Amino acid sequence: MSQKLIVTTTNGVQGYRITRYLGVARGIVVRSPGIGRAFSASFSAMGGGNIREYEEVCEEARREAHARMVDHAAERGADAIIGMRYDATEMSQSLTEVLAYGTAVQLERIDPPQAERAEETEK
């Protein structure tokens, strides 16, 4: 079950200061479309274009890898994951590995006047 965490592709969270870096949080999933989807996809592939059956498998794998990454970060006591990325590797014709990863961090809210000053100095 995924926890409520801030997940961002940026290297910080506006309005917060990073107080502790907890290391890499990751979620890994290896998926195969299964015989039914593979059979259906083979007919779709004959026509060219997007193959919906494989797209669905990839999207499910991304969602599950993301949820596992969030759970991993929560186990470490994180408030957020920064620098989040996905990577995918085709292990064989019918197996794909999806990796979701980022840096687990603990945060401290910056009071509004400090946050405004920090934004001004970044400009």
Q: 83: domain CATH number?
A: 3.30.110.70
The pLDDT of residue 39 is: 46
The confidence score (pLDDT) of residue 43 equals 46
Are the beta carbons of 22 and 78 closer than 8 angstroms?
Answer: yes
Cβ proximity of 94 and 33 under 8 Å = yes
Task: Kindly give, in sequence order, each residue whose CB lies less than 8 Å from that of residue 47, ignoring residues fewer than 6 positions away.
Answer: none
pLDDT at 119: 62
Place of tokens 């592709």: 9
The candidate with the shortest Cα–Cα distance to 81, out of 98, 61, 65, 97, is 65
Q: Is residue 69 part of a domain?
A: yes
Q: Is residue 61 situated within a structural domain? A: yes
- DSSP β-bridge partners for residue 21: 105
Question: For the chain, how many structural domains are there in total?
Answer: 1
**Structural domain harbouring 61:** 6-122
**Is position 26 within any domain?**
yes
In a domain, 88, yes or no: yes
Q: Beta strands 95-109 and 16-31: pairing type?
A: antiparallel
On whether residue 1 sits in a domain, the answer given is no
Domain assignment of residue 100, yes or no: yes
- Confirm whether 54 is domain-assigned: yes
How many CB atoms sit inside 10 A of residue 65's CB? 24
**Tens place of pLDDT per residue across the chain (123 aa):** 455 899 999 999 999 999 999 999 999 999 875 555 544 545 445 455 565 667 777 888 999 999 999 999 999 999 999 999 999 887 777 778 899 999 999 999 997 766 566 666 665
**Domain assignment of residue 98, yes or no:** yes
